[in-house]
Structure 1
Amino acid sequence: MEGSVNSKRRRGLGVVTPNACTECRKKRAKCDGNSPCGRCASQKSVECVYEVPVRQSKEHMRTEIEQLRSQQRQSQRVLAALVSTDRSEQVLEQLRNGETLETITNKLDHSTSESSGAGGNVTTFSRLSDHQAIGLALKPARSLGSSPASTLAFSDSSGVQHSLPTGTWPAWGGGSNTGIQNEDTDMMRWDPDTGPGSDQGHPYPLIGGWHHESGSETDTAIQSAREFGQETILGQPFGMEENANQEHPNYNETWTRVTSDAAFVEHLMALYFCWEYPTFASLSKEHFLEDFRTGNERHCSPLLVNALLAVGCRFSEQRNARAVPDDSKTKGDHFFGEALRLLNEQQDRHVLTTIQALGLMSIREASCGRSSESLFLSGQSIRLAIEMGLHLDINVSDSKEAEIEHAVRSATFWGAFSLDQAWSLSIGRLPHFSRDTKLATKPAIVDHVESSAWIPYTDDGAPLEPSCTQPSNVRSVYKTFCELSEIVHKSLYTLYSPGTHVTSKALLETYTQYLSWYDAIPTTLRLGQNFTPAVLFAHMYYHYAILLLFRPFIKLDLISSGVSPRDVCSQAASAISTLVNSYSQLYTLRRTPSFVPYFVLTSSIAHLIALGNGREGPEQLKQGIKDLKEMTGCHGFAIRALDILRYLTVHWDVNIPFPDGEDDDEVVDEVEGKEREGKSRKELCRAKSTSLNQFCPNIESVDVVNGIGRVGEGDNPLFWPFPLQGRPLLDSPRPSNGGVPLGLQRDVPGTPEGRANPHLESLMQA
Structure 2
Amino acid sequence: MRAEIDQLRKQQYQSDRVIAALASDDGSESILQRLRNGETLENISHNLESVKGNSLMLSTFNAAGDTMSDAGANINITTYSQPSNQQAIQNAVYQAASLTRSPFSAAAFPEAYGGPEEGQNPQSNISWPIWGAGPSSSRQLSNAAHSDEMASWSPSLPSPGYPLIGTWYEQTSGSEDYDSTIQWAREQGRGDILGQEFGPDEDQSSPNMNEPWTEVTNDGNFVEHLMALYFCWEYPTFASLSKEHFLEDFRFGRRRHCSSLLVNAILAVGCRFSSQAAARVDADDSNTAGDHFFAEAVRLLAELKDRHTLTTIQAFGLMSIREASCGRSSESIYYAGQSVMIAIEMGLHLESESGGGDDATLDAAVKSATFWGAFSLDQAWSICIGRLPHFSKETKVMAKPAIVDHIERSSWVPYTDHGDIAENFSRNYRALTADPGAPLQRNCTQPSNVRSVYISFCELSEIVHHALYVFYTPGTQLTSKSLLDVYTQYLNWYDVIPEALRLGQNFTPAVLFAHMYYHFAILLLFRPFIKLEIAGSSVSPRDVCNQAADAISALVRSYSQLYTLHRTPSFVPYFVLTSTITHLVTLGTVGGGPEHIQQGISDLKTMATCHGFARRAQDILSFLADDWGIQVATADGSEESDAKIDPKTLGRPRSTSSNLFAPNFDMKHIINGVGPDNINWGPLFWPFPLQGRPLLGDVEEAGFRVLNLIRDGKDTNMAVVDDSLS
How do 1:322-721 residues align onto structure 2 when only pairs under 5 Å count? Answer: 322-460=280-418, 467-658=443-634, 666-667=642-643, 678-691=644-657, 694-707=660-673
Say if 1:555 and 1:763, in contact at 8 Å, map to a contact too: no
Write the distance in 1 (CA, Å) between the matches of 2:617 and 2:589.
Answer: 21
Instruction: Rate the CA distance shift 1:207–1:556 in 2: closer, same or farther, 3 A.
Output: farther
- Residue number among 68, 75, 81 corresponding to 1:126 in the alignment: 81
- Residue number among 108, 114, 120 corresponding to 1:158 in the alignment: 120
- Corresponding residue for residue 146 of structure 1: 103
Say if 1:379 and 1:432, in contact at 8 Å, map to a contact too: yes
Say if 1:362 and 1:378, in contact at 8 Å, map to a contact too: yes
Q: What do the CA deviations read for 1:580-612 (whole angstroms, capped 9, x no partner)? A: 111111111111000000000000000000000
Write the distance in 1 (CA, Å) between the matches of 2:570 and 2:271.
Answer: 12
Instruction: Rate the CA distance shift 1:285–1:704 in 2: closer, same or farther, 3 A.
Output: same
- Corresponding residue for residue 239 of structure 1: 199
Say if 1:204 and 1:221, in contact at 8 Å, map to a contact too: no
- Corresponding residue for residue 68 of structure 1: none
Write the distance in 2 (CA, Å) between the matches of 1:325 and 1:647.
Answer: 31
Instruction: Rate the CA distance shift 1:300–1:657 in 2: closer, same or farther, 3 A.
Output: same
Write the distance in 2 (CA, Å) between the matches of 1:577 and 1:530.
Answer: 19
- Residue number among 245, 265, 274 corresponding to 1:287 in the alignment: 245
User: Which secondary structure does the structure 2 equivalent of 1:515 belong to?
Assistant: helix
CA drift of 1:249 comes to 4.1
Q: Which moved more, 1:551-560 or 1:225-234?
A: 551-560
CA drift of 1:324 comes to 2.1
User: Which secondary structure does the structure 2 equivalent of 1:391 belong to?
Assistant: coil
Say if 1:431 and 1:492, in contact at 8 Å, map to a contact too: yes
Instruction: Rate the CA distance shift 1:665–1:528 in 2: closer, same or farther, 3 A.
Output: closer
CA drift of 1:469 comes to 1.3
CA drift of 1:168 comes to 7.0
User: Which secondary structure does the structure 2 equivalent of 1:528 belong to?
Assistant: coil
Say if 1:367 and 1:635, in contact at 8 Å, map to a contact too: yes
List gaps (5 residues or longer) in structure 2.
1-39, 49-58, 154-164, 423-438, 677-683, 695-717
Letter in 2 for 1:246: S
Normalised TM-score (structure 2): 0.76
Letter in 1 for 2:290: G
Q: What do the CA deviations read for 1:374-401 (whole angstroms, capped 9, x no partner)? A: 0011111111101101111111432111
Write the distance in 1 (CA, Å) between the matches of 2:300 and 2:356.
Answer: 36
CA drift of 1:134 comes to 0.6
Letter in 1 for 2:96: A
Q: What do the CA deviations read for 1:520-557 (whole angstroms, capped 9, x no partner)? A: 10012111111111111111101100110111111112
Say if 2:386 and 2:693, in contact at 8 Å, map to a contact too: no
Instruction: Rate the CA distance shift 1:550–1:294 in 2: closer, same or farther, 3 A.
Output: same
Write the distance in 2 (CA, Å) between the matches of 1:757 and 1:438.
Answer: 26
Q: Which moved more, 1:344-353 or 1:169-178?
A: 169-178
Write the distance in 2 (CA, Å) between the matches of 1:370 and 1:750.
Answer: 24
Say if 1:685 and 1:698, in contact at 8 Å, map to a contact too: yes
Say if 2:527 and 2:541, in contact at 8 Å, map to a contact too: yes
- Corresponding residue for residue 223 of structure 1: 183
Letter in 2 for 1:683: T
Say if 2:408 and 2:448, in contact at 8 Å, map to a contact too: yes
CA drift of 1:167 comes to 9.0
Q: What do the CA deviations read for 1:11-40 (whole angstroms, capped 9, x no partner)? A: xxxxxxxxxxxxxxxxxxxxxxxxxxxxxx
CA drift of 1:661 comes to 8.2
Q: What do the CA deviations read for 1:490-523 (whole angstroms, capped 9, x no partner)? A: 0000001111110111111111011001111001
Write the distance in 1 (CA, Å) between the matches of 2:502 and 2:395.
Answer: 31
Q: What do the CA deviations read for 1:43-86 (whole angstroms, capped 9, x no partner)? A: xxxxxxxxxxxxxxxxxxxxxxxxxxxxxxxxxxxxxx9x9557
Say if 1:291 and 1:298, in contact at 8 Å, map to a contact too: yes
Say if 1:370 and 1:692, in contact at 8 Å, map to a contact too: no
Instruction: Rate the CA distance shift 1:591–1:377 in 2: closer, same or farther, 3 A.
Output: same
User: Which secondary structure does the structure 2 equivalent of 1:143 belong to?
Assistant: helix
User: Which secondary structure does the structure 2 equivalent of 1:237 belong to?
Assistant: helix
- Tell whether 2:112 aligns with 1:112: no
CA drift of 1:137 comes to 0.5
Write the distance in 1 (CA, Å) between the matches of 2:666 and 2:522.
Answer: 30
Instruction: Rate the CA distance shift 1:135–1:148 in 2: closer, same or farther, 3 A.
Output: closer
User: Which secondary structure does the structure 2 equivalent of 1:286 belong to?
Assistant: helix
Letter in 1 for 2:103: S
- Corresponding residue for residue 262 of structure 1: 220
- Corresponding residue for residue 91 of structure 2: 136
Instruction: Rate the CA distance shift 1:220–1:292 in 2: closer, same or farther, 3 A.
Output: same
User: Which secondary structure does the structure 2 equivalent of 1:379 belong to?
Assistant: helix
CA drift of 1:458 comes to 1.2
CA drift of 1:203 comes to 5.4
CA drift of 1:206 comes to 10
- Corresponding residue for residue 23 of structure 2: none
Instruction: Rate the CA distance shift 1:148–1:454 in 2: closer, same or farther, 3 A.
Output: closer
Write the distance in 2 (CA, Å) between the matches of 1:388 and 1:207.
Answer: 58
Write the distance in 2 (CA, Å) between the matches of 1:206 and 1:404.
Answer: 50
Say if 1:167 and 1:519, in contact at 8 Å, map to a contact too: no
CA drift of 1:228 comes to 1.4
Write the distance in 1 (CA, Å) between the matches of 2:350 and 2:128.
Answer: 34
Letter in 1 for 2:376: S
Letter in 2 for 1:314: R
Say if 2:92 and 2:562, in contact at 8 Å, map to a contact too: yes
Write the distance in 1 (CA, Å) between the matches of 2:646 and 2:400.
Answer: 49
Q: Percent identity?
A: 56
Write the distance in 2 (CA, Å) between the matches of 1:223 and 1:176.
Answer: 35
- Corresponding residue for residue 313 of structure 1: 271
Write the distance in 2 (CA, Å) between the matches of 1:243 and 1:148.
Answer: 50
Q: CA RMSD in A?
A: 3.6
- Corresponding residue for residue 145 of structure 2: 175
Q: What do the CA deviations read for 1:737-763 (whole angstroms, capped 9, x no partner)? A: xxxxxxxxxxxx999x99457699988
CA drift of 1:111 comes to 3.8
Write the distance in 2 (CA, Å) between the matches of 1:665 and 1:525.
Answer: 38
Say if 1:554 and 1:763, in contact at 8 Å, map to a contact too: no
Say if 1:206 and 1:460, in contact at 8 Å, map to a contact too: no
The structure with more radius of gyration? 1
Q: Which moved more, 1:558-567 or 1:132-141?
A: 558-567
Instruction: Rate the CA distance shift 1:692–1:658 in 2: closer, same or farther, 3 A.
Output: farther
Write the distance in 1 (CA, Å) between the matches of 2:131 and 2:283.
Answer: 51
Q: Which moved more, 1:352-361 or 1:682-691?
A: 682-691
Say if 1:134 and 1:466, in contact at 8 Å, map to a contact too: no
Write the distance in 1 (CA, Å) between the matches of 2:723 and 2:416.
Answer: 41
How do 1:90-109 residues align onto structure 2 when only pairs under 5 Å count? Answer: 107=68
Write the distance in 2 (CA, Å) between the matches of 1:468 and 1:228.
Answer: 16
Say if 1:625 and 1:642, in contact at 8 Å, map to a contact too: yes
Relative contact order higher in (CA < 8 Å, ≥ 6 apart):
2
CA drift of 1:182 comes to 8.3
Letter in 1 for 2:624: L
Say if 1:301 and 1:353, in contact at 8 Å, map to a contact too: yes
